[in-house]
Amino acid sequence: MDAKEILVDIKQAELQTELVLDAGKELDRAIRQLHEWSEDWDCQRRACQDIYDAVHLILIHSHQLSRIFWPAKCCGELGLDICHKAMALREEIHLPDLQHPLRNEALWRHAGEFDHSVRDKGATRRYSAHHLTSFNQVITWMDNEAMFCWLEPSTKIFVFHSEEFALTDLLDAVQQLQHNIRQYLKKLQQPNLNLARLDFYHYEKQWAN
């Protein structure tokens, strides 16, 4: 794997981190609105829908990051190449091989469902029924196939098909990953900047003489 390939994948990962963190901000905004609109049922439903969309976007793009750095399958020659590539990427930005919130098999198992549920906008949307329980502020959804999922806004724990996702831990991990990526990209630019300064210095010296 050459330096150009590494750079392309790192830049793709940087984009995915931005999308995750933007969705995290949308989640925070929608949760605030949910509390502000606690007396208005229609507004509550709208806030719940915004929360739902943000949660699933977080998970979709987190899955993309997981695929880049921790491929789910490493079988056969192609699989081994993918795994070696992921190892090289992790080494470049100092990611652990095993223990990391993004190395999450639940993300791999449900990636197709996350994507499907967000893409289905409009009247045919799968998750049309959602409500807020007054006791502990748990937002719940039920899809057309009677699949139940829920979110607790204060802890940002999301449960989907009985799988639990700690969104706060996920967002913190993505933010740290973004920092690592940007530090890596900054270091790549440093030799070029130093070379440019040196050329400028010689240029000025020529004119001074």
Q: Is the pLDDT of residue 27 over 70?
A: yes
Average pLDDT of span 127-140: 61
- The token duo for 98 is 């095993």
Does the pLDDT value for residue 25 go beyond 60?
A: yes
- pTM score above 0.85: no
Contact call for residues 59 and 16 (beta carbons, < 8 A): no
Task: Convert the pLDDT of each residue in 41-80 to its tens digit.
Answer: 777 778 888 888 899 899 999 999 998 998 866 545 555 6
CA distance 6 to 171: 24
pLDDT in tens, 69-92: 988 665 455 556 777 788 888 888
pLDDT for the residue 80: 65
Distance CA 131, CA 129 (A): 7
